[in-house]
Structure 1
Amino acid sequence: MPPVATPPRSTTGSNTSQFATTTIFDQLSANAAAHPGAPSPFDACHVGVVLRAVLFVHAVLAVGVSFVASEPLAWLLAFGQSAAVAMPATLSWLVVACLLKRPLARVAEPVQWLVATGLGALCGAYGWWQVRLVGLPLHPQAGPLAPMLGGAALAAALFYALRLRSRSQLPAVTQARLAELQSRIRPHFLFNTLNTAIALVRIDPARAESVLEDLAELFRVALIESGSTVTLAEEVELARRYLAIEEIRFGQRLKVSWDVDPAAGRARVPPLLLQPLVENAVRHGIEPAAQGGWVRIRTGTRRGQALISVSNSLPGVDHPSTAGHGIALRNVKERLRLMHDLAAQFAAGPERNTWRVHVVVPLD
């Protein structure tokens, strides 16, 4: 089998006991570090969150003013006056929550509730003041008390929804779908990898150890809790390890090229984002082709977004690709939507003789 260059590794142990100990402590470190990467309950920086918050507040106002309006024209006038106060108040609350999401995530839960409701009251008063400042018509007896109380109540409801979102409190069926990919390493891939390591033990022990280290890292990431996040740089390193194993298996049949922008590496993504994409590329693009093929991974940045592209050659008509069920692609798309909402983009499909997956996520 031709020699294949493997990516550099941070582990330096060479004996079996040190390798096992390192793997155990890597897992403990991953579990301990999961909390800092978890979403903040004040994370209101997504377009989808802003749209839903604005619609929710105005829907509550529309129902509320219907109790005091005697006719449609009076309801429309009252709703317009209330919306003039609510819009700047809601947007102000969302902006401040977004700016303070990291420091507020480190304080106790009662303090978070106090800040959320107090900020809602202040933003309600701010919205009332803005309307009075520009001279829009309001009820002669309308004061700041009602906007402050309403702002505090609506802010509490928004904060509760954001807390549920940050904790990923999803229906059991959805949670099971999300865990399906994250906990899975295909059995035949494990079987092939172990056979490769066994074959290398006698002729090249160092490379056999390298294969087992890469496999251990794949399992470590597969055990990360579904609510955790990782950086794109970590995902790129994991994909390098996976493809290093496959390069040993396929030899000259598999050609891998990388075009990685370090600036995109700080983007937060769900664990096991890239690995299933490159696995699909190898399984459906390289494995069926007798002559092999290529896989290309690119990352970049554009206007505050991280761009990720995974493309691969397709086998010819003489060696058609095995049709998959699309489970991995749907799973990755769903996890991106749950994490980044409307700020994430996902597209996959053939382009001439190439299969391409394109992902866009926001940069922190």
Structure 2
Amino acid sequence: MEDSQSLSAFPGAGAPAAPARALVFDACQPGVVLRAVLFVEIVMAVGAAFVAQNVPDWIERLALLSGGAVPGTLSWLIVACSLKQLLARLPPTAQHVAGITLGAVAGLYGCALLALVSGAPRMPWIGSASAGALLAAVLVAALVLRAKSRLPAETTARLAELQARIRPHFLFNSLNSAIALVRDDPARAERLLEDLSELFRHALVERGEAVTLTEEIAVARRYLAIEQVRFGDRLQVEWELDPRAGSARVPPLFLQPLVENAVKHGVEPSATGAQVRITTQRRGGTVVIQVANTVPAGQGPRGHGVAQRNVRERLRLLHDVQTQFQASLQDGQYVVRMEVPA
């Protein structure tokens, strides 16, 4: 929150703004599509098993049901995704009702497809609409729970970032570095304090669920600029950035903790220092992000892995099956490698 916004948030500074509405379920993720289709297919398979006389009969009934259920499910997902912006303007209860209503319509659509294929004079229209509404209600509930699961991870990340920025030894070292530079190099001292101020501002400003990779790179640069003053030649930073990768969407506050880990476990324990290397590369529809650091004697002190677990979870919540996260020690280098959609 900017300073002017902070002041306006106090009583008497203005009328309180109405809370912004948000989408309570998101059907646009590829992983959601796969799981929804699989879930409906399992329900159809179980339903067919209740009336089938034998395995061939079960397969035939499942194929018939799938001919209506799969198109109906896909139509629900497509419409729910297409109306994402419109649904976000509705209250949460209305969003739930809209999702269930679309499910009933999708059930009727699937039943209509079966009527065209089978040519049967009588079709279970009411049953199909009811089944579609029920399945949609389950899917909406699952998506709502998935959306709510983002909040603890994001809150943990923000608190961890605030703790990192306000941590006494980091602040103490940064201010001491600035004091040491005031007389000899006032311009550099000013830049250091500006970088420190920007890090605090970035940790405090609400940025939503995703930012661009370019923004996160800028934050990591400021952090390393501060640490560069402290460690001098002991900290060797190398950047290999693909400009085509900068538009990738990533969780806010996800890169700086990994860079901080690289400094903490690579540079701090080593008398001779270490190299920190940040690379980004776009490969087709995927962006590869890598943070690597040399470690003393090929084996740095082990941490608790809190930052890595948090980053991994937030990437998974944002991009689901489209993301990958790997961390390993290779030839004296600790490497964290991530993949996100371009």
1:250 to 224, 231, 235: 231
Aligned residue in 2 for 1:97 = 80
CA shift, 1:140, in A, is 5.6
2:144 aligned with 1:144: no
TM-score (norm 1): 0.77
Which amino acid counterpart does residue 323 of structure 1 have in structure 2?
Answer: R
Aligned residue in 2 for 1:126 = 109
Aligned residue in 2 for 1:203 = 184
Which amino acid counterpart does residue 321 of structure 2 have in structure 1?
Answer: L
2:60 aligned with 1:81: no
SS in 2 for 1:146: helix
Following the alignment from structure 2 to structure 1, what is the Cα–Cα distance between the partners of residues 154 and 216?
21
Aligned residue in 1 for 2:247 = 266
Following the alignment from structure 2 to structure 1, what is the Cα–Cα distance between the partners of residues 259 and 79?
39
Where does 1:187-198 land on structure 2 (aligned, <5 Å)?
187-198=168-179
What per-residue deviation string (whole Å, max 9, x for no partner) do you get for residues 240-262 of structure 1?
A: 10011011111122222222233
What per-residue deviation string (whole Å, max 9, x for no partner) do you get for residues 117-142 of structure 1?
A: 33323322332233344x3x587632
CA RMSD in angstroms, aligned pairs only? 3.4
What per-residue deviation string (whole Å, max 9, x for no partner) do you get for residues 75-94 of structure 1?
A: 66544433332111112222
Which amino acid counterpart does residue 308 of structure 2 have in structure 1?
Answer: L
Following the alignment from structure 2 to structure 1, what is the Cα–Cα distance between the partners of residues 145 and 207?
15
What per-residue deviation string (whole Å, max 9, x for no partner) do you get for residues 256-294 of structure 1?
A: 222223332232222221111111111222222333232
2:320 aligned with 1:341: yes
Following the alignment from structure 1 to structure 2, what is the Cα–Cα distance between the partners of residues 255 and 175?
31
Number of equivalenced pairs = 330
TM-score (norm 2): 0.81
SS in 2 for 1:266: coil
CA shift, 1:167, in A, is 3.5
CA shift, 1:331, in A, is 1.9
CA shift, 1:322, in A, is 2.2
Which structure features the higher share of helix residues?
2
Aligned residue in 1 for 2:40 = 57
Following the alignment from structure 1 to structure 2, what is the Cα–Cα distance between the partners of residues 237 and 27?
24
Q: Which runs of 5+ in 2 are unaligned?
A: 9-18
- Mean alpha-carbon deviation: is it higher for 185-194 or for 352-361? 185-194
1:234 to 215, 235, 239: 215
Q: Is the 8 A contact 1:270 1:336 kept in 2?
A: yes
Following the alignment from structure 2 to structure 1, what is the Cα–Cα distance between the partners of residues 267 and 144?
43
1:305 to 286, 303, 312: 286
- Mean alpha-carbon deviation: is it higher for 144-153 or for 178-187? 178-187
Following the alignment from structure 2 to structure 1, what is the Cα–Cα distance between the partners of residues 72 and 131?
10
CA shift, 1:55, in A, is 3.2
2:286 aligned with 1:294: no
Following the alignment from structure 1 to structure 2, what is the Cα–Cα distance between the partners of residues 111 and 248?
54
Q: Is the 8 A contact 1:273 1:332 kept in 2?
A: yes
Of all paired residues, the percent bearing the same amino acid is 50
SS in 2 for 1:295: strand
Following the alignment from structure 1 to structure 2, what is the Cα–Cα distance between the partners of residues 178 and 100?
30
Which amino acid counterpart does residue 283 of structure 2 have in structure 1?
Answer: R
Following the alignment from structure 2 to structure 1, what is the Cα–Cα distance between the partners of residues 183 and 323?
47
Q: Is the 8 A contact 2:326 2:337 kept in 1?
A: yes
Aligned residue in 2 for 1:165 = 146
Following the alignment from structure 2 to structure 1, what is the Cα–Cα distance between the partners of residues 176 and 241?
31
Which amino acid counterpart does residue 198 of structure 1 have in structure 2?
Answer: I
1:352 to 305, 318, 331: 331
SS in 2 for 1:44: coil
SS in 2 for 1:271: coil
CA shift, 1:324, in A, is 1.9
Following the alignment from structure 1 to structure 2, what is the Cα–Cα distance between the partners of residues 279 and 271?
15
Q: Is the 8 A contact 1:42 1:105 kept in 2?
A: no
Following the alignment from structure 1 to structure 2, what is the Cα–Cα distance between the partners of residues 169 and 334?
9
Structure 1 residues 243 and 169, CA, compared in 2 at 3 Å: closer, same or farther?
Answer: closer
Aligned residue in 2 for 1:12 = none
